Amino acid sequence: MKAIVVHQYGGPEVLKFEDYPDPVPGSGEVLVRVAASSVNPIDYKRRAGLTKDFYPLKFPGLIGVDLAGTVVKVGPEVDGFAAGDRVFAMADNTYAELCVVKAAALAKVPAGLDLIQAAALPLVTTTGAQLMDATAIQAGKTVLVVGAMGNVGRSAVFAAKQRGARVIGGIWKKQVDEAKSIGADQTVATDDSAALESLSPLDAVADTVGGKIADTLIAKVKQGGTFATVVQPPKNAANYPAVIVQHVFSHFDRQTLEFMAEAVRDGKLTIPVSRKLHLSEAAEAQAAAEKGGIGKVLLVA
């Protein structure tokens, strides 16, 4: 098969489109022909060596965590999947034409959802939903989603509204008009110190940005409230012992992924796709995604 092979840590230029041995499904595993993968921050951080202490690459190695495709073959002790099934998942080594996925970490693409579009969804929608789970937000309570215009942020806003929460979307000043489409009850510009200062106490914050904004916003959480983040916890968290800080690491959950994918199919949630490039153009795709400010970038095999 063809795959994006990494021989050393570095910039996008280390992503090489090369021949690589076909994977073989073992017990409890499924071989998937990849229709598309998507570019996520974890992909280019891993390529650059920023995660080597906890998520290293073994050279030559493959990267990628999102995929959508079609089942080619199932290994022993696999139930519920068969050749020809349209599937999607959070997996490993997805920048390739073929990928082996544990059946327990695989879901079927909902009928009516485009297979290529499905590749944009696994990591960001699952993470957004689990970020909201970590806040333990309830109906009638108020949560601020920081980075609400991002793909994880959009997913978190949707998940919060499904819980009946009142949602404030944390955005940049320049995003005010565009943010009207994400479904938040109101928005606040997180690059406007006066706007942040005027915020009423919050039941929870769901953070996808981190940094100085996080350090500021933890002070806005009520005693007993929760500050949940997918990046780094606020550096000053120790100053707010009455605030529960939750560091969220996403994990596969079939029911959550299928629910969020159905919401995308039905037009209730939008995960914008800005570019679709061939797998061989992974270096260009990652370079574009790293600059930020765009929707999902897909790699079509």
CA angle 34, 249, 174 (to 5 degrees): 85
Burial class of residue 85, CB neighbours in 10 A (0-12, 13-18, 19+) = middle
Burial class of residue 202, CB neighbours in 10 A (0-12, 13-18, 19+) = buried
Angle between helices 122-135 and 254-265 (to 10 degrees): 110
pLDDT at 243: 98
Burial class of residue 157, CB neighbours in 10 A (0-12, 13-18, 19+) = buried
* C-beta of residue 298 within 8 angstroms of C-beta of residue 120: yes
Share of the chain above pLDDT 70, in %: 100
- pLDDT tens, residue by residue, 192-223: 999 999 999 999 999 999 999 999 999 999 99
For 16, 118, 294, the CA distances from 284, given in Å and listed in that order, are: 11, 21, 14
Residue 111 and residue 265: Cα distance in Å, rounded?
Answer: 9
pLDDT at 203: 98
- pLDDT tens, residue by residue, 127-182: 999 999 999 999 999 999 999 999 999 999 999 999 999 999 999 999 989 898 99
pLDDT above 90 for 294: no
**Of residues 293 and 108, which shows the higher confidence score?**
108
* C-beta of residue 9 within 8 angstroms of C-beta of residue 49: yes
- pLDDT tens, residue by residue, 77-104: 999 999 999 999 999 999 999 999 999 9
- pLDDT tens, residue by residue, 29-88: 999 999 999 999 999 999 999 999 999 999 999 999 999 999 999 999 999 999 999 999
Q: Is 21 helix (H, G, I), strand (E, B) or coil?
A: coil
3-state secondary structure 150-210: CHHHHHHHHHHHHCCCEEEEEECHHHCCHHHHCCCCEEEECCCHHHHHCCCCEEEEEECCC
**Partners of residue 90 on adjacent β-strands:** 66
- Pairing between β-strand 98-102 and β-strand 142-146 as defined by DSSP bridges: unpaired
Q: Which pTM value belongs to this model?
A: 0.96
Q: Which two tokens stand for residue 141?
A: 């309570």
Residues in the chain: 301
Compute φ and ψ for 58, nearest 5 degrees: -105, 115
Share of the chain above pLDDT 90, in %: 97
